[in-house]
Every structure is written in C-alpha cells, then in structure tokens.
Chain A
C-alpha cells in the first residue's frame, strides 16, 4: 500500500524571505525534501505553483497589508496544519516591534505622508496568529537548518515536534562559553529561545534575542540585573523590545510595576 505524499506549501508574507531561503539552502537534503513531500507551492524555488488543498502550510513573514490578511486566511482555509516559521510570522518581527506611547497610524504618516497606496492598504505589522489559528511555531531569525529538518521529518511521519523550550544559555554552556551577562555585557540569552546553538556567543558576541522570547522567561529579573550592571532603564526596554514582537509589549511595560 503506497501512501500519498504529504502536500506542502511554503509561503512568504512580509519579511526578508530568509526562512524560505534557509529551506532552499538545505542543499544536501533538498532532493530528499522534494522526494519525500509533494511541494505544491514554493514561490522562491519553483514555478507552476498550485494553490489547492494542503496538508501543511509553512508561512514566513508577518501580516502588514490588507491583502496579506486575505492571503493568510486563504492559506488557513486550504491547509490542515499551519506552521509559523521564523520570527516575523511567530511574533511579528522587527517590523512588529513594540514601541510604547506610539500610534501606528501617526508613525506611518510621518514616513509616507499622504501618499496613496493603490495596490493594497498597509496596516500595522502582526504575527500571523493575530488573524488565524496557528498549529505550530518554529521560531528563528532565520530558522535553523537542524531545527527545520527535524521538524519537517517529524511532520512527514505525522508527529509534531516535542515542545521543549530552552533558552540560548543551554547551548551556550554546552559550548563552554564564558557567560557574557556575568561579565557585565548586555546579553539576552536567558530570555531567548535556543535553536541557533548560541552562535553569537560562540563568537564572543552577546545574544540580541533574534529567535524571540522563550516561554516563561524572567524579564523582571533580567531587567533589574542589567540595570544593576549599569545599563539605562530605557535602553534596556528598547533592546528587550527589538525582536520581541507585538505580544511582549505589555510585559516590558510592566516590568517595573510587576511586584509580588
């Protein structure tokens, strides 16, 4: 009995296309990827894309226009499983960065003035789960090769990845790096999802948090620790917000108030 191949679509909304590129960059495995699954749509890799029913849709990028709302809703309707891949799709990305006391419409106007957009109407950047239900999240900026291949292969077998979030510090210690935070540097390792293998710290650069926040991260403690190390509170909050997307804003705002 031969099983039908899993139908997969890979889509890009607003982002740098780094996640789709990473999938293409799995050179050694590319033949296996294309022979194991029926890749119905993958604009970066092929023409003749079909927008039909899907088993799995991998979506990168955030939603920043009204047309993308329609697009993401259409994908959701066609796909049994929707996976947000990369930082933009999972939390909104840098374009969805939290900015206190700002009104998006006003910011937009200050950049574009009264320019009329005829193609589609721009809106404030949001992660895809602001509009549709998402089944799985694959964070990363971009996603990691091992992480993607592991996820992809498990999903082909019908098995979602085991949810086991760990911060960058875990890989960092396994690689026997010196803790930059302890040395007084601005490192966001403890708040950031691992998967990159602590690549920056391996090269003696602090973690900037590009994989996005990890579940259960202790923002309050890290904030006060950085403050004690001499960093300016506003600077800390800005840096915390950089890659944290739209969801974390209130948390950052409440850090100082959050008291037991």
Chain B
C-alpha cells in the first residue's frame, strides 16, 4: 500500500495540545470556573491570545467545543474559563477533576481590537454568561490601566447567587480607576446592597459619556442586546465602536467546517467579535 508518511506537515491546526486542569470551582449553580495550563511548559508560557478570542476544548470520549477565554493575556501561563453546563462536552467538563487532562487548541477568532481601543473610554456591558469573554478584556484594560481613558463596567445578573465572578466584581467597586455598577433583576437573598433592576437601569447612573471617544463592549443573552443596543445608540456611540461577541455552532475553529458561517463570514475567523454595524448589515447575525 502506498501509505504516505507525511514528514512535511509541521502544523496540524486540528490536533489539540494536552492541558491540565489546575483549579476548578463553582461560580454559580450551573457555571464553573476552570483554570487550565497547557501540559508542555514551553507552550504554556508562549501561548498568546487577544481578549475576546476562544479556544477549542476537548474531553476524551465526549467531543470538542468552543469556549471563550476569560483570563487576560497580560497574566500569561494559565488560561481561565467560566463554563455553563449545557451539553455533552460541558457535562463531561463538570465531571472532570483537578489535575485531569483535557485537549486544547487555539487561540482562535479576531478578539477585541485592543490596539484601536487605546486612549479611548471603555464601556463594558455584560449580562449572565456574557461575563466570560468580557472579563478577559476588562482585566486586560485594568492591567494596562494607563493605556485607556475611563473604564466603566455594567454587569447584570438575574439574582445575586447567579452573578458570575460576583466577589471579584464586588471588590472592584473599591477601585477608584474603575466605574463599576452591578445590578440584579431581583434580590432573593435580602443582602444585595447594590442596584436592583435589569442592566439598562444602570445607564441613568452613568456620568456623561463622550460618545465619539468611547468603545462599548457588549455580551449577554439575546434579549439583553435588544435593550442595551438601544441605550448605546441613544448615547450616540458610533455603531462601529459598539462591539459584541457572538456564539455559533463550531466544529473546527479554523474556518473549515462551515457551521459558523453567516453569508461568507466565518464567526470563528472574522468573529466572534463583531461591530453593531456588522450586525445591522448581516441579516442572520443576531
């Protein structure tokens, strides 16, 4: 048989790297935090991503799925994810223990245009699991604090217990270089001292915004986009400075399997970060 032994192949973008679960704990009832390190030390340290990018994670026997990176490249070595239990791969991830191995490849996607955002005011609006990709860019901006203007965070959750990274964000309220506003739709704990109401009820609390000089970054459940985008447009933030990150079925992450295609835009290559302008002229985006 003429089986070829391809020595010429140096890179195989489909082949994962073994990676170790360093730490894992629950963030809410169905969302868990994972700290992961690529097993090969050199590769772990040379891994570079932009905030807003994602990786493909595989669990042996379960399959592979895309996940946003929640950590910032300004703190290299470890990768962090917050993952909701929703399907076969995430179910398997929830069974995995610290020190177990998974497969990981990436980073993929465009990520947030952090270079264009330099010197601009950054308004981050997150709801629910939208905190997963946006925490990355928030921490990045805070780590490079002098590169940016004002940094404003609006974070909404249904109930206090469902607020992802609640303690982390609550402690951020102490910072004087961050305008941090948190809200819950309803308080069933009786101990919530912050705003109660949907995330848009935080907008009136903002000090006046310089729209032309502001980048707004949004991620959350579909219903949130509808109302938040309206607020942002009302603030006169240009549509190409409103950035959102989107979810699609993906099987490859590298623009080949076709599942995430919208027209001829591949969410995995040309996204997952799109501007509101992209969304308006590409019909199927949201």
Question: Given the complex, which residues of B lie within 8 Å of A159, measured CB to CB?
Answer: 59, 61-63, 88, 91-92
**Is residue A154 contacting chain B, with contact meaning CB distance below 8 A?**
yes
Q: Which residues of B from 66 to 96 have beta carbons under 8 Å from A? A: 88, 91-92, 95
- For B59, the chain A residues whose CB sits under 8 A away are 159
A158 to B62, CA, bound (A): 8
Distance in Å: Cβ of A33 to nearest Cβ of chain B? 16
The complex places the Cα of A154 from the Cα of B88 at a distance, in Å, of 11
Task: Assess whether B88 is in contact with A162, with CB atoms less than 8 Å apart.
Answer: yes
| Across-interface contacts of B91 in A (CB, < 8 A) | 158-159
Q: For residue A153, which residues in chain B have a CB less than 8 angstroms away from its CB?
A: 61
Which among A153, A158, A159 has the highest number of chain B CB atoms within 10 Å?
A: A159
Inter-subunit contact B63/A158 (CB<8 Å): no
**Candidates A154, A158, A160, A162; contact of B95 at CB < 8 Å:** A158
Shortest Cβ gap from A18 to chain B (Å): 28
A178 to chain B, nearest CB (A): 27
Residues of B within 8 A of A162 (CB): 63, 88
Closest to B95 in A: A158
Q: Within 8 Å CB of A160, what residues of B?
A: 88
Give Cα A162 to B249, complex, Å: 13
In the assembled complex, the Cα of A153 lies from the Cα of B62 at a distance in Å of 11
The residue in chain A whose Cβ has the minimal distance to the Cβ of B59 is A159
- CB of A216 closer than 8 Å to a CB of B: no
Give 1 or 0 for each of A90-105: 1 = CB within 8 Å of chain B CB: 0000000000000000
Q: Is A260 an interface residue (CB 8 A)?
A: no
CB of A113 closer than 8 Å to a CB of B: no
Residues A136-160 near B (CB distance < 8 A): 153-154, 157-160
CB distance from A83 to the nearest CB of B (A): 15
CB pair B88–A157 under 8 Å, yes or no, is no
Measured CB to CB, the closest approach of chain A to B105, in angstroms, equals 19
A73 to B61, CA, bound (A): 31
CA distance A153 to B91 in the complex (A): 17
Query: Bound complex: CA of A153 vs CA of B60, how far in Å?
Result: 12
Fill in one digit per residue for B157-178: 1 if any A CB lies within 8 Å of its CB, else 0: 0000000000000000000000
Whole-angstrom distance between the alpha carbons of A11 and B254 in the complex? 45
User: Which B residues from 50 to 64 make CB contacts under 8 A with A?
Assistant: 59-63
Q: Shortest Cβ distance from B161 into chain A, in angstroms?
A: 27
Q: How far is the CA of A158 from the CA of B60 in the complex (A)?
A: 11
User: How far in angstroms is the closest Cβ of chain A from B93?
Assistant: 11
Q: Hey, which chain A residues are within 8 Å of B88, CB to CB?
A: 159-160, 162
- A-chain residues with CB within 8 Å of residue B62 when the two chains form the complex: 154, 157, 159
| Alpha-carbon distance A160/B62, docked complex (angstroms) | 8
Q: How far is the CB of B206 from chain A (nearest CB, A)?
A: 44
User: Using an 8 Å CB-CB cutoff, how does the interface string of A155-175 with B read, 1 for contact, 0 for none?
Assistant: 001111010000000000000
A111 CB to nearest B CB, Å:
45
With both beta carbons as reference points, the residue of chain A lying nearest to B87 in the complex is identified as A162
Expressed in whole angstroms, the minimum distance between the Cβ of A39 and any Cβ of chain B is 20
Residues of chain B with a CB closer than 8 A to A154's CB: 61-62
B60 / chain A contacts, CB cutoff of 8 Å:
157
Residues of A within 8 A of B95 (CB): 158
Measured between beta carbons, the chain A residues less than 8 angstroms from B61 are 153-154, 157-159
- A and B contact pairs by CB, cutoff 8 A, 15 listed: A153-B61, A157-B61, A157-B62, A158-B61, A158-B91, A158-B92, A159-B59, A159-B61, A159-B62, A159-B63, A159-B88, A159-B91, A159-B92, A162-B63, A162-B88
List the 10 closest A-B pairs by CB distance, nearest first.
A157-B61, A159-B62, A159-B61, A159-B92, A159-B88, A162-B88, A160-B88, A158-B95, A162-B63, A154-B61
List 17 additional contacts besides A154-B61, A159-B88, A159-B92; criterion CB under 8 Å.
A153-B61, A154-B62, A157-B60, A157-B61, A157-B62, A158-B61, A158-B91, A158-B92, A158-B95, A159-B59, A159-B61, A159-B62, A159-B63, A159-B91, A160-B88, A162-B63, A162-B88
